[in-house]
Amino acid sequence: MGFMALFLETLIGGVLAGTMYSLVAIGFVLIFKASGVFNYAQGAMLLFSALLFVTLLKLGWPIPLALFATMVVTVIGALAIERIVLRPLANRSTMTLFLATLGLSFVIEGLAQGIMGTEVHALNLGVEDLPIFWGDILISQFDLYAAGVAITLTLLLALFFNKTRIGVSLRAVADDAGAAQSIGINLNFIWQVVWAVSALVGLVAGLAWGARQGVSFNLSLVVLKALPVLIIGGFTSIGGAIIAGVIVGAAEALAETYLGPIVGGGIQFWFAYFLALIFLFIRPTGLFGDAEIERV
Amino acid sequence: MKTNAGQMTVETSLQINAKPQTRKLPSASTIAFVILVLTAPLFASHYWLMAIITPVMILSLAGIGLNIKTGYAGMVSVGAGAFMAVGAYGMFNFAAHGGITNFPLALLLGGISAAIAGYLFGLPSSRIKGFYVMVTTLAAQFFVEWLFTKNAYFYNYGSVPTITLPPMTLFDLDINGNNTIRYYVVVIIVLLMTLAAKNIIHSHVGRNWMAIRDMNTAAGVIGIDSARYKRLAFTIGSFYLGIAGALWAFLFLGTASTLSFDINRSFQVLFIIIIGGLSSIRGNFIGAAFILLLPILIDYMVKATLGSALNPGFLSNMNKVIFGSLIIILLIKEPEGFDKMLRNLTGYIKRRKS
């Protein structure tokens, strides 16, 4: 295979894999935008929903029913988290909120694995991972589906934010919570909507990642993969999360192919972070983030 | 409204942190604590000395290091484990490749390695803040783990990627064999470094850190070179973490690997300073004791009440649930940690007396 073909194959594979990062990052952006909470438990939520879905399938439930039940449970769980954990912490520092979600991730992981077990499950969504050849270049069919799901999800969210009443109030809250409240927007309601939507996004991401690498504790660590994506795209932009996910995916794949052999491999654990650092030096608020102005 | 909130923080923190210039004598509780730790080998069992007090003291030191960065200079750091690893691996490499067998010297060099790593990873902090600083520390975390696992040089080409200290000398004392000496080495290093940290924090350096933490822009306006002091906080904080890491690896664990300093260790140290209380020296000790003893206590309680009928996997997961819940409850009820709770309590008792 020629240099160009290998380059393109790596690039396309990376871009498609990157949309999987975007899927996770979107869940973060939703919550961060509306309430300033960096939800570390997003990974645990991914794990919980994927594990629940797999367990229900193993019990012999048909796929649609299992999916519906998982949706119901995760949404109820997300609403409970918002009500019990985050509402009492409203107006606290971002640091405190972050740590609370860190504690929350322990609770969710413990519950998920305590009740449903710790073994690794395979998750078959009925998508055959057959390679597709485009000339010389090999493309994973599964990655294509995942990318399709990510794009559809983003379009749906964009419609939701721009066309519905709730979506518009949500953007108002993100812009200025105080002003939004004073014109009669119910902050608590908006936060609940955000957590519910984010849980559903987490479910989609959990199923995609679970089908990819099996449903195990590792799903919870996906959150650490999403952080550099958030830095590059900015914490408050869904479009940014998508683009940054693609950038990170592509750069990681290229680095692993061309740089990896030189330094001994395994660089995917930190490469994304270095990429994020480089972006930080050039644009400290991310590609699409809002600059904060500090006043004395 | 935002501006008001900002001014409020400055005022309140000034009230809390501006201690009188005159040097105060150590409080009765501090003296009692120091005497207790120093005399513990006379009455405490081997288990208590080596499996409880030693790790609590070492993690308290790590807490002080992280508190310098996060509590005093206001930079959220989740890479504590990385700098602990650099300290441990630095000390090991100076001993294994550099032939330095003098314990204090090798330890110091390990600490300095961590300080240099802290300086380098602290460089971006002059341009960014908040969660973005957190990312640079996470970059340190993953890079360091990779570096020390993938490059056999750093674990002296052993068959497994672990490090164990070669025989060391300490003024003719046998540090490797004798448990009492090991205990005293840990306790004395931790106490001396705690005293040093207290002095740094009460000097102009510490005051400048707090000014930057409370309001970066305002600190700049009154002429504090915030980039310089942020780098300094990263360097000194990492030095403390490095020493703590080396002590943890060689005087507590004996044999260590990067798994001893993974992201969970970083979170553990972060929890210690949050639970104990940010910007408090005493809080680190309370936090470390709480974080290390809580899982043991939960385990004991669950086993005592439910018996050993439950399978151990379920038990460890329930342990996790209880631990996480307690963290959340503490954050909701007492966001400033145990240190604040203790201050409230002593204040209450004093008011009742007068």
Total domain count, chain B: 1
Helix, strand, coil percent values for chain A (each to nearest 5): 75, 5, 20
Distance (Å, rounded) from C-alpha B339 to C-alpha B38? 23
> Tokens representing B156?
């002296």
Domain boundaries, chain A: 3-117+146-282
C-beta atoms of A280 and B323 within 8 A = no
User: Using one digit for the tens of pLDDT, what is the confidence trace for A256-265?
Assistant: 888 877 777 7
Rounded to two decimals, the pTM is: 0.86
Please state the rounded mean pLDDT for residues A222-229.
85
Across chain A, what does the average pLDDT equal? 86
Task: Considering only CA atoms, give the Rg of chain A.
Answer: 20
Q: Give the mean model confidence (pLDDT) for residues B94-103.
A: 88
- The closest CB to that of A228, out of B3, B135, B331, belongs to B135
| pLDDT cut 90: percent of chain A above it | 26
* Closest alpha carbon within chain A to B151: A264
A83 inside 8 A of chain B by CB = no
Min Cα separation A163/chain B (Å): 30
Is residue A293 packed enough to be buried (19+ CB in 10 Å), middle (13-18) or exposed (0-12)? exposed
Q: Does the pLDDT of residue B172 top 90, yes or no?
A: no
CATH of span A3-117+146-282: 1.10.3470
Any CB–CB contact under 8 A between B205 and chain A? no
Q: Which pLDDT band holds residue B10 (cuts at 50, 70, 90)? A: very low
Of A100, A105, A267, the CB nearest to B331: A100
Q: Taking residues B95-109, report their average pLDDT.
A: 90
- For residue B83, give the nearest of B117, B131, B107, B106 by alpha carbon: B117
B221 Cβ under 8 Å from any chain A Cβ: yes
ipTM exceeds 0.95, yes or no:
no
Question: Is pLDDT of A292 > 90?
Answer: no
Q: For B271-287, what is each residue's pLDDT tens digit?
A: 899 889 888 999 999 99
**In chain B, which residue's Cα lies nearest the Cα of A119?**
B313
Whether residue B76 is contained in a domain is answered as yes
How far, in whole angstroms, is CA A219 from its chain's centroid?
11
Domain range for B182: 28-261
Q: Any CB–CB contact under 8 A between B348 and chain A?
A: no
Largest CA-CA distance found in chain A, in angstroms, rounded: 63
When pLDDT is cut at 50, 70 and 90, the band that residue B179 belongs to is confident
Tens digit of each residue's pLDDT (9 = 90 or more) over A121-175: 888 777 666 777 777 777 888 888 888 888 888 888 888 888 898 888 888 888 8
Q: How confident is the model at residue A274 (pLDDT cuts 50, 70, 90)?
A: confident
Query: Would the pLDDT of B311 be above 80?
Result: no
Residue B250, in any domain of the structure: yes
Question: Buried (b) or exposed (e) across B20-41, using 16+ Cβ within 10 A?
Answer: eeeeeeeeeeeeeeeeebeebb
Yes or no: say if B242 and B69 are a contact pair by the CB < 8 Å rule: no
Residue predicted with more confidence, B58 or B353: B58
* Contact in structure between A104 and B324 (CB atoms under 8 Å): yes
- pLDDT tens digits for range A86-105: 999 888 887 788 889 999 99
Does the structure show a pLDDT above 50 at B12? no
Indicate the burial class of B189 (C-beta count within 10 angstroms; 0-12, 13-18, 19 or more).
Answer: buried
Domain-located, residue B175: yes
Whether B189 maps to a domain, the answer reads yes
